[in-house]
Amino acid sequence: MSVLFFHTMRYKVQDPRNASNDRFVLSKGHAAPILYSVWAEAGFLQEAELLNLRKIDSVLEGHPVPRQAFTDVATGSLGQGLGAACGMAYTGKFFDRASYRVYCLLGDGELSEGSVWEAMAFAGFYKLDNLVAIFDINRLGQSDPAPLQHRVEIYQKRCEAFGWHAIIVDGHSVEELCKAFGQAKHQPTAIIAKTFKGKGISGVEDKESWHGKPLPKNMAEQVIQEIDDKIQNKKKLSPALPEEDAPIVNVRNIKMPSPPTYKVGEKWATRKAYGVALAKLGHANDRVIALDGDTKNSTFSELFKKEHPNRYIECYIAEQNMVSIAVGCATRDRTVAFASTFATFFTRAFDQIRMAAISESNINLCGSHCGVSIGEDGPSQMGLEDLSMFRAIPTATVFYPSDAVATEKAVEIAANTKGICFIRTSRPENPVIYNNNEDFHIGQAKVVLKSKDDQVTVIGAGVTLHEALAAAEQLRKEKVFIRVIDPFTIKPLDKKTILENARATKGRIITVEDHYHEGGIGEAVCAAVVGEPGITVNRLAVSHVPRSGKSAELLKMFGIDKDAIVQAVKMAVSKSRNAE
């Protein structure tokens, strides 16, 4: 850390987030005290503040978080720092075309995480020669030695196999580290530093059971004195300044260059409308970028790639890393990142998404192929848990557009919304129901069908909204009228509109969704109306693990098609009549 911060890295101490500064990611976030110490040594933090470590009124938390001006991404859930560093390095090399470099310090324990090797593969493939990973091979994990212990040659071979220039050094040798950091190659560099935990401390060095434990007071005082005695030169060190060549960018207030151009009644899949909208948004700002996990011909992010090939990042089938790359690309407001894959595959990246929220990241994720309506591909491809997952993220906005116009508006709004934005898109083609000049807002639902004689309020989204409209048409012939609501955003949900319309329909609500019962639209609506007198909610949703079949067959099998809605409405009305 001393060599990195006071010999190698170039940055402005009093402006830690300067766009031209070298970046540093402490992937082994539990080592936060050393990070805070170097910023105190550099002069950004007051030394006295270090004594407030982990206190509730201090910015110096137990693991790094972006509340600290010198921290770009939160770490501590191990194995994620390198992916974010790759995103920063990719941005520096291909988007900023600037000279800043990115350094990432990893512990040997986290090298068991598969996400590390997804990042290693990414960096090797794209030859991110502005990226340096430092492996702290101190042999010891939290409760046991790491699997390879000090066999640094194996780490070196693994790194080389992933396309990295790998150097083994004595991690306690300032001279060797200075020399290693100075080696420039046309590929990423891995510095494999053999170290000993507690080096130089009698009774602690290379011993187990010291992870996360402070030294006893008397031992600490003695050790501090021993270290102090070894310091030969107490001259204040200052880092070199960066070359200020990162361009000034603006990612605020990005507007579509023109309104949507759809015709009411035309059939469009919202997944395709997403691709069209993203490609269009790319013309509005050259900092809009797209990422995908080898599903671009299904999510339609390929339309963005076709029009903006230099701003598309193929992440291949590594969804955890794709989310981390997006987070890295979006740091310091350098880009507006949209990452897409099948909705269900984001479930394997839930930890990365959770950490993105802790990182105060502004990333946009689009999950296509949601629900049983995708048909024959079967349950492994069906997003049925995604609403639940994203609703649980504190900084998330969850969009569920029901036609092409709504999808285009969702993309535009997401680009300008802080936090994690999730856009849920569908495979089936459904009619456009909104005019091109329709206005959309977060947390504002649309009442798409209404009459003074409505007896039940039906809430659907995506394919189920169209099923609800078809059910309304069928019921109308039998002189039964329903009100149909499109929520547009599931989080936040438009509680006011839902309650107003429920009260106008005798308190009866039916929700219908192409998602499991748990955590979806039905539960969101229930949470919104809980405690409200006279309101009843009947939830139609996918009740168990589905199977392959035609889209219409599956909607019918799981009771979320128009016929099921018709039956639910009739039952609600007859129950009420019987009660009267």
- Point out the residues that are catalytic: 319
Residue type, 1: M
Q: How far, in Å, CA of 41 to CA of 5, rounded?
A: 10
**Helical spans, DSSP H, in 445-545:** 463-476, 495-504, 521-529
552-567 in b/e form (b: 16+ CB < 10 A) is eebbebbbbbbebbbe
The tokens 């079967």 sit on which residue? 378
Residue 148: strand, helix, or coil: coil
The token pair at 540 is 């139609």
- Angular region, 193: left φ>0, alpha ψ -120 to 50, beta rest: beta
Which residues, 6 or more positions from 422, have their beta carbon under 8 angstroms from its beta carbon?
A: 346, 364, 365, 366, 367, 386, 390, 396, 397, 398, 399
Q: How far, in Å, CA of 24 to CA of 372, rounded?
A: 43
Q: Name the residue among 229, 234, 162 with its Cα closest to residue 200.
A: 229
Report the chain's terminal Cα–Cα distance, integer Å: 76
Beta bridge partner(s), residue 133:
104, 190
The token pair at 102 is 């990115």
* Burial group, residue 216, by CB count within 10 angstroms (0-12, 13-18, 19+): exposed
Q: What stretch of H or E contains 175?
A: helix 174-181
Cβ atoms < 10 Å from Cβ of 185: 11
The token pair at 188 is 């990423």
Q: How far, in Å, CA of 41 to CA of 167, rounded?
A: 28
* Burial group, residue 229, by CB count within 10 angstroms (0-12, 13-18, 19+): exposed
Which residues, 6 or more positions from 409, have their beta carbon under 8 angstroms from its beta carbon?
A: 260, 401, 438, 440
**Helical spans, DSSP H, in 416-505:** 463-476, 495-504
Q: How far, in Å, CA of 347 to CA of 319, rounded?
A: 9
Q: Cis link prior to 492 (omega < 30° from 0)?
A: yes
Cβ atoms < 10 Å from Cβ of 143: 9
Torsion of CA 24, 26, 31, 33, to 10 degrees: 40
Output the CA–CA distances (angstroms, integers) from residue 529 to 448, 503, 508, 515, 525, in the order listed. 20, 11, 11, 20, 6
